[in-house]
């Protein structure tokens, strides 16, 4: 058995101008259990849906990829990504509208779930352990269910699903 250890992976076509672009490390977290919450303007962390990476250089970028399987009850939820306690990848502020990373729409069939995904390149400028977390928020006192359908009966119409957070350190 052979072992190959490298500091980075360089694309076949070579390193982009400026010398960056290689993948240094990959960290992933998979949430297989369920989560539900009713929100009325308060954001809630989706427990167990986070990942921590320790960049090797403070110039590295982190490619953040989130896949969230959910079922929402009669209204639109919003998803947010935070680096530690700092919200990142948000839309511009506009009046009293809630800033968000991605939308989570109403799922019409109470026995099914939908999926939302987001990919963004972050610049944390640190070599300290950095945790990326997923949050949900709504303003109408409605419920959201993660990794399950709204109905969640013990029959073959619904399902149980997974959600993931994947982080890739990209050399600068």
CA distances from 168 to 21, 122, 132, 148 (A): 11, 10, 12, 27
Question: What value does the mean pLDDT of the chain take?
Answer: 89
Taking a C-beta distance cutoff of 8 angstroms, is the pair 150, 69 a contact?
Answer: no
pLDDT tens, position by position, 128-138: 999 999 999 98
Would you say 25 and 8 are in contact if contact means Cβ atoms under 8 Å apart? no
pTM of the predicted model as reported, rounded to 2 decimal places: 0.86
Pairing of strands 44-53, 77-83: unpaired
Residue with token string 């303003």: 139
Residue 12, pLDDT > 60, answer: no
Q: What is the pLDDT of residues 20-49, one digit of tens each?
A: 678 999 999 999 999 999 988 899 999 999
More confident position, 152 or 146: 146
pLDDT over threshold 80, residue 15: no
Q: Is the per-residue pLDDT at 96 higher than 70?
A: yes
Residue from 144, 149, 145, 122 nearest 133 by CA: 122
Cα–Cα distance between 39 and 77 in angstroms, integer? 9
């Amino acid at each position: 058995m052979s072992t190959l250890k490298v500091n980075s992976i360089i694309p076949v076509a070579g390193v982009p101008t400026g010398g960056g672009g290689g993948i240094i490390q990959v960290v992933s977290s998979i949430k297989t259990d369920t989560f539900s919450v009713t929100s009325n303007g308060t954001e809630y962390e989706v427990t167990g849906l986070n990942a921590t990476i320790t960049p090797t250089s403070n110039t590295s970028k982190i490619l953040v990829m989130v896949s969230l399987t959910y079922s929402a009850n009669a209204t639109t939820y919003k998803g947010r990504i935070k680096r530690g306690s700092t919200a990142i990848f948000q839309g511009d502020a506009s009046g009293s509208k809630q800033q968000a990373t991605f939308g989570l729409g109403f799922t019409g069939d109470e026995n099914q779930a939908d999926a939302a995904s987001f990919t963004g390149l972050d610049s944390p400028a640190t070599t300290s352990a950095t945790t990326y977390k997923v949050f949900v928020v709504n303003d109408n006192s409605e419920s959201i269910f993660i990794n399950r359908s709204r109905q969640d009966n013990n029959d073959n119409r619904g399902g149980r699903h997974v959600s993931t957070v994947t982080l890739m350190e990209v050399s600068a």
